[in-house]
A and B are shown apart, each in its own frame.
Chain A
Amino acid sequence: MLFNSLDFAVFLPLVFALYWLSGSKKTQNLILFLASLIFYGWWNLRFLSLILFSILLDFFLAKKIEKSTDTQKKWLLYLSLSANLGLLGVFKYFNFFIDSFVEVFAFFSVQFSPTHLNIILPVGISFYTFQTLSYSIDVYRGKIKASNDFIAFGSFVSFFPQLVAGPIERATNLLPQFQQKRVFNYTQSVDGLRQILWGFIKKVVIADHCAVYVNMIYADYTEYSGFWLLMASVLFAFQIYGDFSGYSDIAIGTAKLFGVSLMQNFAFPYFSRDIAEFWRRWHISLSTWFRDYLYIPLGGSKTSLVKQIRNTFAVFLVSGFWHGANFTFIVWGGLNALYFLPLLLGKKNRRHLDVVAQHSSFASLKELYQMATTFLITTLAWVFFRASSVEQACLILKKICSFSLFNMTSSISLKPFAVLILLLFTFLVVEWMGRADRYALERLFTTYSRAVRFSFYALLIVVIGLFMQTTQTSFIYFQF
């Protein structure tokens, strides 16, 4: 079930009403658990068995881990890791590895045609697998007690707002919330609705509009000049931001309607002054996951410089690979690691921990330059993320770096394109105004009279009505 579908528009109020009419913690969790299974089963009923298997496995293994000796604990953890990662490997990476082996053997003139698995990737498997993994690891580390309440644990793993595309929650934050009764909070619900509204603007107005041009140009990239390829890549930067952070906003906002608080997943990443700051602000739940469960266990920054570099590359490459079974994602991860390297070597990776232009309305020229260069290099890296192959990405970059960068002629109709630019500009202004908050609308106009606030939110709904892309599109991160 997509957030931007009529099904969800019916589903959400129904679950909301049932949930708050129910009296106890147990019934609240049961409603959430069943609703989440329906939400997930809407795509494909067969994949429900996968998520149920994950839930059952980690629920019982964690209980065992908690009661076992140190050696047993380790083996049980390995069992959890290999079962979860094994499923992920089979469904997401099996065909990729097979193809890669074939190519390697073909290089040595050995031809063979192995069996491929004719399977589709279960939606959200990368997300809930990481969530259950973090639970098992945290129980193993003694950071959290194993849950004795299966329904609460099932609700934690399958919580529908964040099930298919995050934020990837930690058991330490989310599970305790399911272990107590939630009480309806009007302010929190209104805040949730506000965040949902902004999420929809990001998704159906910004991302889906950008997608029209991005898809058109990337599908026929040999026909477009460097200028339009750069335009498409810039638009893709906004598309993926609008799409993914929009999803996160809707997820976090929806969770608030149920009295549940999820972690922030995006913090205005395109207002970053260097790539380190960008990665502190982009897909925070995944970045921090890799920090806690990969970077730090490898030694983190408290080790020799060579190992620090190794750890950095490991995190970025694995993060790239997490996104998909394609070399484009690995190159994308590697490129970001390369961007990060000079900051690491110069020990400048923790320079910008505050918000840009925190005490003024406008950024300084220096800050503008920093933000523009950071945006530009991330955009160039996105080319690999968007392209269907490394070769295609290289050709696109080559064209962007050629003289055709100054050739603006194309068959693209300029009036609708100008509308998109206007929408993007307005969007950026609103995002800039709210950059110190958790999402742009969090405090915008909240101190004004009700009439002003109502008018503002209603106008946003009008903008959605007038400008949303009416072709229903899935969220990009569903494929991961």
Chain B
Amino acid sequence: MHIVLFLVFTTCLYVFCIVLSGLVLPQKLRPNLMYPLGGNGHLFSRIQELKQIDSVDVLFLGSSHAYRGFDTRIFADSSISVFNLGSSAQTPLQTNILLKRYLDKIKVQHIIYEVYPGTLCSDGVEASLDLLANDGFDFMNFDLLINTKHLKVLNTFIYAAFRKYFRLDDDFKEPKEKYDDLYVKGGFVEKKAKAYHPPKTRATNTFKHKANQVKYFKENIALIKSQDIKFTLVIAPVTSSLYSSYTNHDFFEELFAKQGTLLNYNPKFLDDSLDFYDAHHLNQRGVERFNRVLIRDFKKD
């Protein structure tokens, strides 16, 4: 009986302290409670804009490779209406929640799902924190908690529940421009950085996927198929030095290709120094070159 009483008391105190520290302490003094409201990647602005949209020709899904790689303006110039629903380090787990939350609410002709083997190897913590802070709160957030089994996700979950319940984020206005990033209508984020100096050598590595991420990936594809939406899987360009440092791309390409049409823009599709601003992300020159080819391939398809 005492143990039960203690557990109840501890749970209440824990929730109270998490909320209090979230409200009072600066981030550096509460390392296990992150609440990246309007954090890196403009997810908050993206979700707010998504809520105003009824239909699009193409919906993009995926990680930062997606929201930094598919420029909505270039697609609009080609008379294709698009929305970019990528988010930082988005893994199939978060994609699953976003699809369940929003796919019924907007009419989508085609989905371009950016797939990167790294997202299948991720624990999904970073993306979960991003989603908890910048999207609404519902029972699907429990999926994040159960699947990541991570203390930071638990703490952020508690704090997010409090903030959303008391509508503390309602007045939040995310600036369009921050940290060299410019948020562009439709969900794209343009980076101002221009060039990249790739390292001369990279240690070889292999991707080690997580079973639950593969399970969610397959579930996402099934969900898209169940809505009769056409889809294309895209492996967006990364620097050739990064791409070639991983030795087991074949396994993942086979896994992706089994699910549907796969377009892989690696390796050596673009120039490591001129078209990227870091190992993973394209600069604007790279985005434009990549998107022109992607639109050509998309129209062919």
Contact = CB atoms under 8 A, between A and B. Distances in A.
Interface in A386-441: 413, 415-416, 419
Nearest to A463: B17
B71 to A, nearest CB: 35
Given A468-B151, A470-B150, A462 B14 contact: yes
Nearest to A455: B13
Contacts of A462: 13-14, 17-18
A466 B17 contact: yes
B52 to A, nearest CB: 36
Nearest to B152: A470
B9 A470 contact: no
Contacts of B149: 6
B296 interface: no
A461 B10 contact: yes
Contacts of B10: 454, 457-458, 461
A299 B183 CA distance: 79
B6 A470 contact: no
A468 B32 contact: yes
B155 A458 contact: no
B155 A465 contact: yes
Interface residues of chain A: helix, strand, loop or mixed (majority): helix
A11 interface: no
A255 to B, nearest CB: 19
Contacts of A476: none
B13 A465 contact: no
Nearest to B158: A465
A219 interface: no
Interface residues of B, number: 22
B240 interface: no
A289 interface: no
Contacts of B13: 455, 458-459, 462
A467 interface: yes
A466 B152 CA distance: 9
Determine which residue in A457, A461, A462, A466 has the highest number of CB atoms from chain B within 10 A of its CB, and name it: A466
Contacts of A470: 32, 150-152
Contact of B32 (A6, A455, A466): A466
Main SS of the interface on chain B?
helix
Contacts of B51: none
A431 to B, nearest CB: 23
Contact of B14 (A419, A458, A467, A468): A458
Interface in A441-477: 450, 454-455, 457-459, 461-462, 465-468, 470
B241 interface: no
Contacts of B150: 470
B168 interface: no
B30 interface: yes
A415 B30 CA distance: 11
Nearest to A419: B29
Interface residues of A, number: 18
From A419, A450, A455, A470, name the one whose CB has the most chain B CB atoms within 10 angstroms. Answer: A470
Interface string B3-21: 0011001100110011001
Contacts of A454: 5-6, 9-10
B140 to A, nearest CB: 22
A419 B6 contact: no
B31 interface: yes
Contacts of A450: 2
A468 B33 CA distance: 11
Contacts of B14: 458, 461-462, 465
A416 B28 contact: yes
B6 A467 contact: no
B21 A466 contact: yes
A138 B18 CA distance: 53
B225 to A, nearest CB: 34
Contacts of A458: 6, 9-10, 13-14
B30 A466 contact: yes
B6 A457 contact: yes
A359 B14 CA distance: 36
A466 B33 contact: yes
Residue among A459, A461, A465, A467 with most chain B CB within 10 A? A465
Contact of A465 (B5, B9, B29, B32): B32
Nearest to A450: B2
Given A458-B6, A470-B150, A465 B18 contact: yes
A416 B31 contact: yes
Contacts of B9: 454-455, 458
A461 B149 CA distance: 17
A467 B18 contact: no
Contacts of A455: 9, 13
Contacts of B152: 470
Contacts of A416: 28, 31
A208 B21 CA distance: 22
Given A454-B9, A458-B13, A467 B31 contact: yes
B301 to A, nearest CB: 42
B22 to A, nearest CB: 10
Interface in B74-109: none
Contacts of A419: 28-29, 31
Contacts of A457: 6, 10
Given A458-B14, A467-B31, 5 more contacts: A416-B31, A458-B6, A465-B151, A466-B155, A468-B151
Of all A-B residue pairs in the complex, the 10 with the closest CB atoms, nearest first, are A458-B10, A462-B17, A415-B28, A458-B13, A454-B9, A470-B151, A466-B32, A461-B10, A454-B6, A462-B14
20 contacts: A6-B149, A416-B31, A454-B6, A457-B10, A458-B6, A458-B13, A459-B13, A459-B17, A461-B14, A462-B14, A462-B17, A462-B18, A465-B14, A465-B17, A465-B32, A465-B151, A466-B30, A466-B33, A467-B31, A467-B32
